A and B are shown apart, each in its own frame.
Chain A
Amino acid sequence: DAKTTQPPSMDCAEGRAANLPCNHSTISGNEYVYWYRQIHSQGPQYIIHGLKNNETNEMASLIITEDRKSSTLILPHATLRDTAVYYCIVPGGGNKLTFGTGTQLKVEL
């Protein structure tokens, strides 16, 4: 799996957009970027994935730079329930996901 780098923690005010960055400079041309989150004491939850185009779903938006070396997950209106660890993953093929330590997002009033 391509290595990803994320900040260990971020804070966000409730109602504001949360922008979570991820660097994946060694990504190859056909590798996707996946995002998961893990709320305390729960299993990881799939959020979104993308290859080169920006993607949006009911949970979040994913912006991938043109050179694909970095991406940003955007939660447009963060709520307290979005407090979680967010993982950016570039699966390298095979049958497993390799999780790093992610970004702990804390949404505060």
Chain B
Amino acid sequence: DTGVSQDPRHKITKRGQNVTFRCDPISEHNRLYWYRQTLGQGPEFLTYFQNEAQLEKSRLLSDRFSAERPKGSFSTLEIQRTEQGDSAMYLCASSYPGQGYGYTFGSGTRLTVV
């Protein structure tokens, strides 16, 4: 068990560029979550997958954001036409059925839009 892995750890991009982040959950976890955290705030829910199905999306997930989990294993979060307001830590978490809300989080991807 290597935990939840996120790549890259840090990303600096120019406004208007597209970025993609990757999350590798714990292998036996079929549930995967994306959160966003800005400075001084707690993490905010973005979206949830069960296996490959995206079952819930927050209103925070504007049409510039898209998340996929094509084979029910790793997931990607893409942000198109980045804006300065997208600067944040993007966190991924995973869990298995019966685990309740004791999720395992990755260390996050820190995005800075300049």
Contact = CB atoms under 8 A, between A and B. Distances in A.
Whether A associates with B in a native complex is yes
Interface of A: 32, 34, 41-46, 49, 85, 87, 89, 91, 94-102
Which of A45, A96, A99 has the most chain B CB within a 10 Å cutoff?
A96
A95 B102 contact: no
A56 to B, nearest CB: 15
Contact of A46 (B44, B91, B102, B107): B102
Given A44-B43, A100-B42, 16 more contacts: A32-B100, A34-B101, A34-B102, A43-B91, A43-B107, A44-B105, A45-B105, A46-B102, A49-B100, A49-B101, A91-B101, A94-B56, A95-B31, A95-B48, A98-B45, A99-B44
A43 B93 contact: yes
B56 A96 contact: yes
B41 interface: yes
Given A44-B105, A49-B102, A97 B41 contact: no
Contacts, number: 56
Contact of A99 (B42, B100, B110): B42
A45 B4 CA distance: 12
Interface string B38-76: 001111110010000001101000000000000000000
Interface in B89-114: 91, 93, 100-108, 110
B91 A101 contact: no
A43 B106 contact: yes
A101 B48 CA distance: 22
Contacts of A44: 43, 91, 93, 103, 105
Nearest to B103: A46
A47 B45 CA distance: 19
Contacts of A91: 101
